[in-house]
Structure 1
Amino acid sequence: MNARIDETTVAGLRWVVVTGERIAAFTLLGEYARASITAVQKQLPEREGLQVFTRSGRGRRILADVAAATEQAYPHLAAELRALAAGATLPYEDLLLANLRGDLGVDDGTGCTDLAWRGTSSFIAHNEDGAPALDGHFMLLTLHIDGDLPVTVQWYPGFLPSNTLAANAAGLVWGINHIQVTTPIAAPGRHFVARRLQQCTTFTDAVDFLRTHPSAGGFAYTIGDTHTGRAAVVETAAGRHAVRELPPDRAFEWHTNHIRFMPDPPDRAPAGAATANLGQRDESLARGRVLENITPALEPGVDWFDRVLAGSPVPTGVHRTAAGDDPLATLCTTVTNLTDQTIFIRNRHDRTASLSLADFVAGPPSTERSATE
C-alpha cells in the first residue's frame, strides 16, 4: 500500500487527508476526486478565454516558455500534477493550462482578501473568494507526502494544492491573493512556486524563498509564524517582489488583488492601453478602500477578524455574495491566531468550527470514508 485517503467534514467542508508516496498519493487523489476535478474544470470561467488565447501565436509562445520553466525548476511538482491528471483520467495539458491561467497575461478576475495583525497576539485571516458553482467541490486537503513536511490547504480539485490558504507543520500560515500581471515573464508558474513554499521551515526562509524564486504571474502572500508572531505581506509578480513586514507593536495590514508596495506595478496596463482588467482592479480597489478605513480594536480577536471578513459586502465590508455584477462569493473565511495556535473556519453557509493549528495541519483523528492504493 503506497497511498491512503481518509475523509471527514469540518464546518460543512469536505476534508480529505492523503498519505503516502508522492506519485501514488496524487494518482489516488485524482481517482478519488475525479468527479469534482471534472466539474471544476468544466465550470472555470476563464476556460474558454485560455483556450482561445493559447491557440494564438503569442499565447502558444508564452505557454511554452512558462511550461518549460516550470518543468525545469519544479519537476517533482509537475509530476504531482501529471499524477493527479492520470488519476482523474484527464489530459495533463488541460490541468496544466488551468494551473497556469494567472501566468499567461490573460484576465483572471479578482478574488480573496487577507488581513494581518501583530501585537500582544498575532493573526492571519483570509477570505477565499470563488465562483459559486465551485461550492461543494472546494474543500480542505491535508497532504502527508513521504519526505515532506505535512501541510493543509484549501483546495480547488484539479489545481496544484497551493493557491489559497496553507498551514504547514513548521508553524507557518499564509493566505494568497491573485495579482493580475499584464506582461508575464518566462518563469515558473506561480502555483508551483507556492507549492514549493510549503516546505519552508522558518519565517525568514519563506520570505527569502519568495524573494529569490520568481513566478511568471503574480501572487500576494500574507505570511505569519506561530513561533515568533512575525507577519508580513510579500508581493511577487513577473520576477519582481516587495516585502512589508509588520512591526511588533499593534500593527495592521491588508491585501486584496492589486499591488500596493511596488513602484510602477506590473498589474497595471501601460497608459492608454485598453484592458478588461481595469474593471476587475476597481473591484479590488473598492475592497481596499473599505480596509483602509477600518481601525482595529486595541487588541483584536477572532471575532473582530470574522466580522470584518464575513460581516457585509462593499461598501461596508469585503464579504462577497455573487450579487449584482459580482461573479464571486466568499466560499470560506479563516482566522488563525498565531499566538494561541488555533484556527477558526466559517464556510459559505455560516457553519463554523475552531480547532488547534496542530490538528488542522495533521488532519482529523477520526474519519468517515477511506480509500487505499
Structure 2
Amino acid sequence: MTLPPIHLAGNAHAIGHGLGVFGRDAVLRHLRPLPLWQYLTSLAQTPKAVQMRQAVQTEFPRYWQEIEGLAAGLQLPLDEVFMWNCRGDYVHQQSVDGCTTLFGPASDGVLIAHNEDGFPQLRGQCALLHAQPESGLAFSSFVYPGSLPGHTLAVNECGLVATVNNIRPTRIPAGIPRQILGRATLDARTLDEAIAVVTRTDRAGAFHHTFGQAGSRRVVSVEASAEGSNVSEVQRPGGHSNHLIAPSLSRLQQRITASSGARQQCIDQSLKQLPGDLDDGVSLSILRDTSGGHLPVYRAAADDPDDENTLATGVFLISANTVEWRIYTQPNTDQPDIEGVVLLSR
C-alpha cells in the first residue's frame, strides 16, 4: 500500500506532533533542502510573516497548537514549519500542490472526484490521516509530510467533503494563511459554514474549494482569494484545475501555467461529451486521462513543467445519509488503496 493510514487522537498539539513524527524523514530528505523551503525560512521575521503568525494565534489558536506540535514532531524550528505551511501565501515561481477536480450530480446524489498533485519526490511519502481531536470534528484527510491537513481531499464526521486546488495570484497580501482556512473547513458542520470560512476577506493566498455534504444535493465550487471570491452552486457536471475561471473574478491577475490551462481544456471537452450525470467510472477515466501529451490531466512525468505529479485520486459519492469514498494511487487499477464510508446518524 502506497497510502498508509495513520490514526491520531487527542488535543491539537498531540495530533500535530503525530503528523510531525510521521513526516519527519520525508521532510528532512525531500523538502527542507528545497530552495523554496530556504526562501520561505528567510522571510520568517518579515512584517508580513509576523502579521500572519499573530493572526493565526489570535483567530485560530487550536490550529496554531497543531503547528507547534507539528514542529516538535518534525524536530525543526517552529518558524520554518509555520512558513512551510504558508508556502502558497507568497508569490513564487515554483508551483505547489496543483490538482484537478470534477464535481456534479450523480445518479443517487452528487459526486466529487479529485486528483491530488504534488511534488514527485513525495510519491509514497504521504498518508491518509484519520483524526479524532478532543476539540473539533473527526475527519479523514490526505496529508503531506510537514503540512497540516485540510488543503487536499477530506471528509469529516458531518459528511462534509472538501477538496482543494492551488490558485496562483500575482499579488498576495498579508492575511490568514490559506492552509489554515483549509484546516478550518474540516471543523465545519455545514456547507454554509465551510463557505463562510474560505470567503473571509482577511485571507492571504488563494484556493479553489469544492464542497458537498451528505443529506444535501448541493455541490459548491468556490474560488476564494484576498481580492474577491466567487461561489457557484453546481447544477451540471463541471471541473476545475489551477486558475480562476469565474467571469466575476476576471479582473484579478494570476499566473496560469501551461499545465493548468491544458488540464482545464481537457476536462471541459470531456464533460461536454458526457451524456448525463457523473459516476465513479467516468470520473476516474477523465482524471486518468493522458491524451494531453506532455500536459496531461494525470501527471506522472519526471520532467513535468510545474514539477508536480498526481499522487492520489479520490472519489466521493455523496448521498442522502452517506459518503462513500475511495482513494487510488495507481492509474491502472479499479482497486482503491483505501476506502471508507461516513454514515450520518439521524
TM-score > 0.5 by shorter chain: yes
Secondary structure of the equivalent of 1:199? coil
SS of the residue corresponding to residue 282 of structure 2 reads helix
Q: Distance in 2 between matches of 1:323 and 1:27?
A: 32
Give how far 1:246 is off: 1.0
Match of 1:309 in 2: 287
Q: Does 1:149 align with 2:137?
A: yes
Q: Say whether 1:292 aligns with 2:277.
A: no
Structure-to-structure mapping, 1:211-250, within 5 angstroms? 211-212=199-200, 214-247=202-235
Q: CA RMSD in A?
A: 2.4
User: AA paired with 1:113?
Assistant: T
Query: Relative to 1, partners in 2 of residues 1:258 and 1:140: Cα closer, same or farther, differing over 3 Å?
Result: same
Q: Counterpart amino acid of 1:338?
A: I
Aligned partner of 2:99 among 97, 101, 112: 112
Number of the residue aligned with 1:283: 259
2:73 aligns with: 87
Deviation at 1:350, TM superposition (A): 4.5
The answer to which of 180-189 and 338-347 deviates more is 338-347
Query: Which shows bigger deviation, 34-43 or 124-133?
Result: 34-43
Q: Could you say what secondary structure the match of 2:68 adopts? A: helix
Distance 2:259 2:289 in 1: 18
2:308 corresponds to 1:328? yes
Deviates more, 1:219-228 or 1:61-70: 61-70
Does 158-167 or 289-298 show the bigger shift? 289-298
Whole-Å separation in 2 of the counterparts to 1:48 and 1:32: 22
Alignment of 1:64-213 (within 5 A): 64-109=50-95, 111-120=98-107, 121-212=109-200
Contact 1:69 1:187 (8 Å CA) reproduced: yes
| Aligned positions of 1:347-362 closer than 5 A | 347-348=329-330, 350=332, 352-353=335-336, 355-358=339-342
Q: Write the distance in 1 (CA, Å) between the matches of 2:180 and 2:15.
A: 17
Bigger drift between 31-40 and 127-136 goes to: 31-40
> In structure 1, how many angstroms separate the alpha carbons of the residues matched to 2:221 and 2:252?
17
Q: Which runs of 5+ in 2 are unaligned?
A: none
CA change 1:290–1:135 in 2 (3 A) is same
TM-score (norm 2): 0.88
Q: Kindly tell me: are residues 158 and 265 of structure 1, through their superposed partners in 2, closer, same or farther at Cα, counting changes over 3 Å? A: farther
Structure 2 residue corresponding to 1:50, chosen from 40, 44, 47: 40
The structure 2 residue matched to 1:343, chosen from 325, 333, 339, is 325
Q: Secondary structure at the match of 1:62?
A: helix
Task: Report the TM-score, using the length of structure 1 for normalisation.
Answer: 0.82
**Aligned pair in 2 of structure 1 residues 32, 156: CA closer, same or farther (>3 Å)?**
closer
Higher mean C-alpha displacement, 142-151 vs 37-46:
37-46
Q: 1:19 is matched with which residue?
A: 9
Specify the SS of the correspondent of 2:237: strand
Residue 197 of structure 1: CA displacement?
Answer: 1.2
CA-to-aligned-CA distance 1:16-47 (integer Å, 9 cap, x gap): 01012222232243234422332343364622
Measure how far apart 1:289 and its partner are: 0.9
Q: Kindly state the Cα deviation for residue 240 of structure 1 after the two structures are TM-superposed.
A: 1.9
Give the fraction of aligned pairs with identical amino acids, expressed as a percent: 26
The alignment partner of 1:148 has SS state of: coil
Describe the shift of the 1:51–1:135 C-alpha distance in structure 2 as closer, same or farther (beyond 3 A).
same
Q: What amino acid sits opposite 1:283 in the alignment?
A: S
Query: Residues 119, 34 of structure 1: CA spacing in aligned structure 2 closer, same or farther, 3 A cutoff?
Result: closer
Change (3 A) 1:178 1:35: same
Task: Find the residue that maps to 1:342 and give its secondary structure.
Answer: strand
Q: Does 1:41 align with 2:20?
A: no
The Cα shift of 1:239 comes to: 4.6
More deviation, 70-79/315-324 = 315-324
Deviation at 1:283, TM superposition (A): 2.0
Q: Give the conservation status (yes or no) of the 8 Å contact 1:237–1:266.
A: no
Q: Which runs of 5+ in 1 are unaligned?
A: 1-8, 269-276, 362-373
Asked if structure 2 preserves the Cα contact closer than 8 Å seen for 1:176 and 1:221, the reply is yes
Secondary structure of the 1:217 match is coil
Residue type at the aligned position of 1:238 = A
